[in-house]
Copies of this chain bind each other. A is one copy, B any other.
Amino acid sequence: MSSAEVAALQAQVEDLTATVAHIQDDELNTFYLMWAGVLVFLMQLGFAMLSAGAVRTKNASNILLKGLLDACLGAIVWYLIGYGFAYDADAQAENSDHTGNSFIGTGPSNFALSGQTKEEGAYGGDWVGWFFQYAFAAAGATIVSGAVAERCQLSAYLIYTVAITGFIYPVIVHWIWDTGGFLCSWNPNPDSRWLTGMVDFAGSGVVHMTGGWAALCAAAILGPRLGRFDETGKAVAGYSGHSLPLAVLGTFLLWGGWYGFNQGSTLGIKDQGQTAARVGVTTTLSAGSAAVTGLYLKYALPAKLGGTKVWDLGHTCNSLLGGLVGITAGCSVVEPYAALVIGFVAAFVYHGASCLMRKMKVDDPLDAFAVHGACGVLGCIVVGLFATKEYTYAFNDDGEAEYGIFYGGSGLLLATQIAGVIMIQIWVVSLSTIMFFILRKAEILRVPMSVEEAGLDASKHGGSAYPEQVPYVVGNA
């Protein structure tokens, strides 16, 4: 056996090793993230259908247009600036040295994908990373649209969408998902990291709390729809949405898309098959548990606690979505039975928050705060309770695993989760409040009373979303 033959064999093995790495890093992972990204994109359709179903006929076109624009404007803004505030210019490179700081991405040097590493990276490069993250970014602003439905001006909508997608949301992404972020549990450097870093696998905090708490500020500052509450402060009938089939269509599409949202957050399938598959199980169980619980709650509770003695379809849809929001942070670190528990609790949290909002006379037509804001907090907190030692990816400064206190964890993870929740709230609520107050002050936040009464579609969009039905629909103004 000549040494030349052996050398040839060595070269062949070298090649093969490179090809195998290429398959995993550049083919499988890229394909996986594209698959997941398209599913998350379909959540935009889900939101649009859910929103359309949840408003009155006279405002259907308006909310549909906003749903479409979230995806369109979101793409442009996320490309031009958002992605640059979220990720350091070289964040997707295999050995990033994180030229940015731990609070905000490198900004201009990564605007318009200008910091894109042209080599193929571990996560299929910035191209696919951008696409996957785009679909997430669009979700944040969409959540707010629900809360301000039926009365917000289009110009105000355009301004807050750009602000949220381009700045408010990306900064939080940097904190928690860029490995250089101060709240990122993947941040390997304890010096630039708070405690263990937050475990928010797919974004109960990053995406849903951001959208949900901004929605709360928006709805509170904007004020309720005309006539929504009577003199005694009670909610008036006639404000429910115009189509439950559309709402169910949206709910189901959101659920289906969530399998891209949660499973896709492994950011690749390389060495992640078990994790991704387990995420599918926990996501499913929390959704199912929350829906069944919510259905029963709304039926069985005494009237003063919001029970109605009817099997409420819309409430079931929202409970289900609350269950999905609640499992999103911990989907990869909790056991399936815990997912059942989380969904169960999420139904209570959603219902309680929804009742509280009505009690406070904050009018949120889609219950965006109750679903995304309140259950988003739940999702972050339960990680500190239910994360198992086996599945957790949070570590203290000594490199020891930190997990849920129900399994005997030290509580450091729970503390980090709470700190993270508070940080997100401070950031989102303060910026949103300032923004929406300025918009109100500038008198571009709310449509004139006459426009609201006639409906936005007739006033602003050239007519009804159902042109032939118009004369036969009762206006609720």
State in angstroms the CA–CA spacing of A391 and B22 once bound together. 20
Q: Is the pair B24, A13 in contact by a Cβ cutoff of 8 Å?
A: no
State in angstroms the CA–CA spacing of A271 and B26 once bound together. 8
State in angstroms the CA–CA spacing of A125 and B133 once bound together. 28
Chain B residues with Cβ under 8 A from A311's Cβ? 65, 154, 460-462
- Interface 0/1 of A64-98, CB less than 8 Å to B: 11011101111110010000000000000000000
Q: Is the pair B76, A310 in contact by a Cβ cutoff of 8 Å?
A: no
- Interface 0/1 of A361-391, CB less than 8 Å to B: 0000000000000000000000000000000
State in angstroms the CA–CA spacing of A467 and B33 once bound together. 40
Q: Is the pair A31, B32 in contact by a Cβ cutoff of 8 Å?
A: yes
* Stretch touching chain B among A35-43, A169-177, A403-411, A419-427: A35-43
A303 on interface, CB distance cutoff 8 Å? no
- Which single member of B19, B33, B240, B277 contacts A20 (CB below 8 Å)? B19
State in angstroms the CA–CA spacing of A44 and B60 once bound together. 25
Chain B residues with Cβ under 8 A from A24's Cβ? 23, 27
Q: Is the pair B125, A336 in contact by a Cβ cutoff of 8 Å?
A: no
- Interface 0/1 of A451-465, CB less than 8 Å to B: 000000000111101
**Number of identical protomers:** 3
Nearest chain B CB to A261 CB, angstrom units: 11
> Known contacts A65-B316, A245-B64, A269-B27; is A281 also within 8 Å of B38 by CB?
no
Q: Is the pair A273, B465 in contact by a Cβ cutoff of 8 Å?
A: no
Nearest chain B CB to A196 CB, angstrom units: 25
Q: Is the pair A75, B34 in contact by a Cβ cutoff of 8 Å?
A: no
Q: How large is the interface on A (under 10, 10 to 19, 20 to 34, 35 or more residues)?
A: 35 or more
For window 241-292 of A, CB contacts with B under 8 Å fall at 241-246, 248-249, 251-253, 255-256, 259-260, 263, 269-274, 276-278, 280-281, 284-285, 287-289, 291-292
A468 on interface, CB distance cutoff 8 Å? yes
A127 on interface, CB distance cutoff 8 Å? yes
* Stretch touching chain B among A4-12, A143-151, A200-208, A216-224: A4-12
For window 302-336 of A, CB contacts with B under 8 Å fall at 308, 310-313, 316-317, 320, 336
Chain B residues with Cβ under 8 A from A19's Cβ? 20
Residue ranges of A at the interface with B (Cβ–Cβ < 8 Å): 1-3, 5-7, 9-10, 12-13, 16-17, 19-20, 22-24, 26-35, 37-39, 41-42, 44-45, 48-49, 52, 56-57, 60-61, 64-65, 67-69, 71-76, 79, 112-113, 120, 124-125, 127-128, 130-131, 134, 154, 238, 240-246, 248-249, 251-253, 255-256, 259-260, 263, 269-274, 276-278, 280-281, 284-285, 287-289, 291-292, 295, 308, 310-313, 316-317, 320, 336-337, 340, 460-463, 465-469, 471-474, 476
Other A-B pairs, 16, CB within 8 Å; known A29-B273, A310-B462:
A27-B28, A28-B31, A31-B32, A41-B255, A61-B313, A65-B316, A68-B316, A69-B295, A73-B292, A75-B284, A76-B340, A128-B273, A242-B467, A245-B465, A245-B466, A312-B462
